[in-house]
Amino acid sequence: MRTSTAQRLPVSPVPQPEIVRELRAFQWNGRATKRGLTSVGLAKTKPIVVQTFVNEFWTSKQRAAHSLHEVSYRACFKPQLPRFFIDRFTAPGDVVYDPFMGRGTTIIEAALAGRVPAGCDINPLSPMLAQPRLSPPTPEEVEARLAALDLSRAVSYPRELEAFYHPDTLREICALREHLMARQQNGSIDAIDRWIRMVAINRLTGHSPGFFSVYTLPPNQAASIDSQSRINARRRQTPPRRDVRQLIAAKTRSLLSDCDSATRATLLRSVQRATLMTGPARSTPQLRSNSVSLVVTSPPFLDVVNYAADNWLRGWFGGIDTAAVEISMYRKVADWQASMTDVFREIARVLRPGGHVAFEVGEVRNGKIKLEEAVLPCGVAAGLDPLLIVINAQQFTKTANCWGVKNNSKGTNTNRIVVFRKQ
Ligand SMILES: C[S@@+](CC[C@H](N)C(=O)[O-])C[C@H]1O[C@@H](n2cnc3c(N)ncnc32)[C@H](O)[C@@H]1O
């Protein structure tokens, strides 16, 4: 595949949809949108050429995200990203789908906007994080349930986790885990239990007293036991006592701080038709053909993130055998493209005519590979029309090289979104 990026061409070759006019006219802090063309040459067919727009199209400064989003997850995107496309490509009641759901940023933003959420992820951890926030209990309900729990005894006690936790804290964590797993197994688990499990998963490890653990990596990654022991030795730290109930209650109040009665009413209407799936994105028979108005998603970027390693402790708490989850990881772009093409075929099936896909990728391998260029042939092979590429550049300055990589760490300081349309 031969590619060339971002030639600055003044004239657009296709009629201008509304979004193109809007992106061209967009200004952020007085800065005009940069425009160009991305062209991917294919050996046997005509090159794929799409208009490409660069600016700071969304930022936390423009609109604060809803408090319900504030759970950490490796390689999640900001809620402003799905909102940008939801606002432009859908109406209330439309189905918005994320085949690589992660913590559920797209589906929660969709539900908050009165759209019908649909999501899929191969890791059972994903619905554990996403689903409870679609039907949140009240802080009072959570606190009453926590108060009724006996966390003083646990059957199992994995001593090696004392690298992270004070023994009394670890006993409480184990007792809570066993209680939730028993409720899951006997079918009595309810929305309050699921909420408590989601919050507990998010409090397992982190670098402040708001987490159950001693100081460790940020909460979206878990250190191995060996590396945590090294962190402890280097920092001369031993895990302090933390109150599991109190930390869950505090995080619950913070997550629910924007959940007024209007939000709850909107969520309730939206989630009645929600579809959440655990499995590979290439096969989603639960979703009807031609039923989805918009897909907003972000797949694994080759092998940049090791979701299994980062989530081992969360998986343990949730009773998930993380090693058995077949998370897509590819070293070679061609293998990644083959896998993404399968996913695009399934997306093309479920998308309604006129529906859109916003497929977010990042730069990888220090900018040598631009995955947006790799994505274009995948969508086209699935029969979708490439519409445009939106590059959201954070810290967009006059000197920043927005087409390439600067200050880049693991390809994530720009969001590069390829937008397709189904005819
Ligand atoms: C970049 S993350 C998505 C993050 C999401 N946008 C968010 O904001 O939380 C990619 C997700 O794809 C999931 N995944 C990996 N392989 C998959 C597959 N074959 N099918 C479905 N999901 C998969 C991973 O478990 C991970 O949650």
Tell me which residue range forms the domain holding 215: 139-255
What's residue 254's pLDDT? 98
Enclosing H/E stretch for 414: strand 414-421
| Residue 119: CATH number of its domain | 3.40.50.150
Backbone angles phi, psi at 155, to 5 degrees: -70, -50
* Together in a domain, 361 and 287: yes
Average pLDDT, the chain: 90
Whether 335 maps to a domain, the answer reads no
Ligand 1: nearest atom to the Cα of 299: 10
Is residue 306's pLDDT more than 80?
yes
Report the SS3 class of residue 50. strand
Could you read off the pLDDT of 226-282 as tens digits, one per residue?
999 999 999 999 999 999 999 999 999 999 999 999 999 999 999 999 999 999 999
Q: What is the pLDDT of residues 1-37, one digit of tens each?
A: 333 444 444 444 455 788 898 898 898 888 899 999 9
Neighbouring residues of 293: CB distance < 8 A, sequence distance ≥ 6 = 89, 90, 91, 94, 95, 96, 115, 351, 352, 355, 356
Q: For Cα atoms 266, 269, 271, give the angle at the middle one, nearest 5 degrees.
A: 105
Q: Both 159 and 239 in a single domain?
A: yes
pLDDT band at 411 (very low <50, low <70, confident <90, very high): very low
Are both 180 and 237 inside the same structural domain? Answer: yes
| Statement to judge: residues 321 and 370 lie in one domain | yes
Task: Look up tokens 């646990």; give the residue.
Answer: 154
How many Å apart are CA 273 and CA 196, to the nearest integer?
Answer: 24
Question: What is the C-alpha to C-alpha distance for residues 239 and 167, in angstroms, rounded to an integer?
Answer: 9
**Same domain? 129 vs 143:** no
Q: Which of 255, 270, 301 is the last residue of a domain?
A: 255
Bridging pattern class, strands 351-361 and 292-297:
parallel
Provide the pLDDT for residue 83.
96
What's the confidence (pLDDT) of residue 324? 87
Q: What is the pLDDT of residue 329?
A: 85
Is any ligand 1 atom within 6 A of the Cβ of residue 102?
yes
pLDDT given for residue 395 in this prediction: 58
pLDDT tens digits, 163-207: 999 999 999 999 999 999 999 999 999 999 999 999 999 999 999
Does residue 224 sit within a domain?
yes
396 and 356 within one domain: yes
Q: Is 142 exposed, middle or buried (0-12, 13-18, 19+ CB in 10 A)?
A: buried
Residue with tokens 């990596």: 217
| 345 and 302 both lie in a single domain | yes
Ligand 1 touching residue 120 (CB < 6 A): yes
Q: Say whether both 270 and 375 belong to one domain.
A: yes
Residue count (the chain) = 423
Nearest CA to ligand 1 atom 26: 102
Which tokens hold the place of 223? 């250190």
The string of pLDDT tens digits covering residues 133-172 is: 999 999 999 999 999 999 999 999 999 999 999 999 999 9
Retrieve residue 271's tokens.
Answer: 């989630």
Helix (H) or strand (E) holding 360: strand 351-361
Residue 402 has what pLDDT? 41
215 forms bridges with which residues in the sheet? 206
Q: What is the pLDDT of residue 407?
A: 40
Ligand 1 centroid, distance to 368 Cα (angstroms): 23
- Percent of the chain's residues with pLDDT above 70: 90
Please write the tens of the pLDDT for every residue from 319-368.
998 888 988 888 899 999 999 999 999 999 999 999 999 999 987 887 78
In the predicted structure, residue 400 carries a pLDDT above the cut 60: no
Q: Residue 14: its pLDDT value, please?
A: 52
pLDDT at 61: 66
Separation of CA 111 and ligand 1 centre (Å): 19
Three state DSSP letters for 176-241: HHHHHHHHHHCCCCCHHHHHHHHHHHHHCCECCCCCCCCECCCCCCCCCHHHHHHHHHHHCCCCCC
Examine the pLDDT at 315 and tell me if it is beyond 80.
Answer: yes
Q: How far is CA 70 from CA 64, 129, 283, 391, 406, in A?
A: 11, 11, 30, 24, 27
Query: Looking at the structure, do residues 235 and 381 belong to the same domain, yes or no?
Result: no
Query: In the structure encoding, which two tokens stand for residue 61, read together?
Result: 């400064």
Out of 255, 278, 308, pick the residue that ends a domain.
255
> Do 100 and 150 share a structural domain?
no
Rg (CA), the chain: 22
Check pocket membership of 126 for ligand 1, CB cut-off 6 A: yes
Output the CA 385–ligand 1 centroid distance in Å. Answer: 24
> pTM value?
0.92
Do 320 and 415 have their domain in common? yes
**Count of domains forming the chain:** 2
Q: What is the mean pLDDT of residues 63-87?
A: 93
Last residue of a domain, one of 227, 255, 283: 255
Q: What does the pLDDT average to over 98-103?
A: 98
| 334 belongs to a structural domain | no
**Residue 68 forms part of a structural domain:** yes
CB of 346 closer than 6 A to ligand 1? no
> Ligand 1, from 86, 327, 339, 378: best to mutate by most atoms within 8 Å of Cβ?
327
Q: Is the CB of 327 within 6 Å of ligand 1?
A: yes
Q: Which of 174, 234, 163 is nearest to 205 (CA)?
A: 163
Cβ neighbours of residue 117 closer than 8 Å, sequence gap 6 or more? 95, 96, 97, 106, 107, 108, 110, 111, 134, 270, 271, 274, 275, 276
- Nearest atom in ligand 1 to 105's CA: 8
